[in-house]
Structure 1
């Protein structure tokens, strides 16, 4: 059996509309123009502090405002659940993997409280036996400590990491584990330039992909 660790935003869920709404609420309160959904997706991946820094840069807001705007962003982020959707087929695939005896975890740069809130809202918390958020440890992805912590909580078995971005690919590389790349997420560079064990664009055949990955291990 495998220990299968997933990134969250852009891998299992499309949360960009909720994140955009929070960001634009913060910007609007400061008298700044909103950011687009495309910009929002391009800013996601390295955690809330980096997102806010990129948001500020897009609106020429000085670095001195980082901490204050990050605090405001985090307050709104915890309850930002209404616009987020699960990618088609993801939940049935997760349920099938659990039924086969695999253990599942989350390793995301999203802060822990918003992660906990969105998993509860989407009735997905029941599927995961370990959840590591971007502020759970002193470091975050691509430092593989988060990935190792999520895997250690699941016991024994081959570790497989599933993600949608360059950050996830680097995390898997540095952690020394197979990486399954979801192509429909928030990656920023050409698909072919991202190191991976395999790529997939739909969860319809994901269980079979896990079995193939295990057979090659």
Structure 2
């Protein structure tokens, strides 16, 4: 089965790295860094929206020119911000089990391409994934279905499961016509019962069972 994963808030907690970048950028402007809670609330819809939210939270007037400047500085720092990212519990073993079971895995993230590739390399994820799509590699970011559908196509097509942690991921899966497994311990901004999902799980030890159920459901159709 094809399994498409979100990255930040699903496989890894990268908020401490993003917070550190915000401290550098905002510090130059005489503004305090984002808190870790703000950081987790701001991620998920791409770096451009994150920068807009960061500017608004610190009272920085957003003009196209000002946003472009801060965005450029943010991405330049973001590419090298990998040292504080950590896997969520059970992720490494779950990915190994799925890969060993013959499933094809794709990574689908709104994170810009260079920072996404940098953190993948740092955390040893490159050999695990058979397809990869990041922010800027397609015309439309999530929740538009383009990125998820491109991942499935790059995996060779066929039945797929989308795994993510947020309402954005849920909408992406719905737009792409894919069943959705919600990881409840990531960056979601809404209560679990307000996010549409086919399965919800709080530890990656449960994911292999969900994949088996998704396969059985597909065969029964």
| TM band (smaller chain) | over 0.9
Q: Which residue of 2 aligns with 1:47?
A: 46
Q: Which residue of 1 aligns with 2:199?
A: 198
SS of equivalent residue, structure 2 residue 140: coil
Q: Which residue of 2 aligns with 1:133?
A: 134
User: 2:26 & 2:77 partners in 1: Cα distance?
Assistant: 12
Shift of the alpha carbon at 1:54? 0.1
User: 2:96 & 2:34 partners in 1: Cα distance?
Assistant: 36
SS of equivalent residue, structure 2 residue 3: strand
What pairs with 1:19-30 in structure 2 (closer than 5 Å)?
A: 19-30=18-29
Paired residues of 2:16 and 2:36 also in contact (CA < 8 A): yes
What pairs with 1:22-101 in structure 2 (closer than 5 Å)?
A: 22-64=21-63, 65-101=66-102
User: 1:30 & 1:199 partners in 2: Cα distance?
Assistant: 41
User: 1:205 & 1:34 partners in 2: Cα distance?
Assistant: 36
1:18-63 CA distances to partner (integer Å, 9 max, x unpaired)?
0000011100011111210000000001000000000000011011
Shift of the alpha carbon at 1:156? 3.3
Q: Which residue of 2 aligns with 1:102?
A: 103
User: 1:194 & 1:205 partners in 2: Cα distance?
Assistant: 19
What pairs with 1:94-173 in structure 2 (closer than 5 Å)?
A: 94-173=95-174
Shift of the alpha carbon at 1:146? 0.3
Matched, 1:8 2:1: no
Q: Which residue of 2 aligns with 1:175?
A: 176
Shift of the alpha carbon at 1:157? 2.8
1:139-187 CA distances to partner (integer Å, 9 max, x unpaired)?
1000000001111110133111000000000000010010000000000
User: 1:28 & 1:161 partners in 2: Cα distance?
Assistant: 38
User: 1:26 & 1:83 partners in 2: Cα distance?
Assistant: 17
Q: Unaligned 5+ residue runs, structure 2?
A: none
- After the TM superposition, which segments of 4 or more aligned residues of structure 1 sit over 2 Å from their partners? none
User: 2:156 & 2:201 partners in 1: Cα distance?
Assistant: 26
Aligned residue pairs total 216
Paired residues of 2:5 and 2:164 also in contact (CA < 8 A): yes
Q: Unaligned 5+ residue runs, structure 1?
A: none
